Amino acid sequence: MRIAIAGKGGTGKTTIAGTLARALARTGREVLAIDANTNPNLASVLGIPPASANAIVGLPRNLMQRTTHEDGTTTTKFGADPEALIREYAIRGPDDVQLMVMGRVGHGGAG
């Protein structure tokens, strides 16, 4: 199951996403939460201590591979092994939710 939560700023998306992730993890599901906000706060909702949250490294920018074909069309594919990315970049919260961040302002990654 994949769930994406989107909407305008200040509507509680992070709180809903974190609460849902924790609830699903508590039922025994494997949960990977990805914070795509440039100022990620999902870690706090997931119960990850601030020191651990600040140590999270954002995903590198070059995960997508674009190919231009002879006919001028282009295709873009995910160019990384998802399991390897999770092992390298995810941090596990107290409810067993794994968290990855897309990037952070001033911290590298995609931010």
Q: What is the pLDDT of residues 71-94, one digit of tens each?
A: 999 988 877 888 998 999 999 999
From its phi and psi, is residue 52 left (phi > 0), alpha (psi between -120 and 50) or beta? alpha
DSSP E strand stretches across 1-96: 32-35, 64-68, 74-78, 91-92
Return the domain boundaries, the chain: 13-101
Q: What is the pLDDT of residues 20-62, one digit of tens each?
A: 999 999 999 999 999 988 778 999 999 999 999 988 888 887 7
Q: Are 97 and 33 in contact (CB under 8 A)?
A: yes
**What pLDDT is attached to residue 105?**
58
3 alpha-carbon distance from chain centroid: 12
Q: Which residue has the higher pLDDT, 38 or 4?
A: 4
Q: Quick one: average pLDDT of 101-111?
A: 58
Range 62-80 burial, b when 16+ CB lie within 10 A, else e: eeeeeeeeeeeeeeeeeee
Cα 98 to Cα 86: distance, rounded to the nearest angstrom: 8
Cα 18 to Cα 33: distance, rounded to the nearest angstrom: 8
**What pLDDT is attached to residue 86?**
92
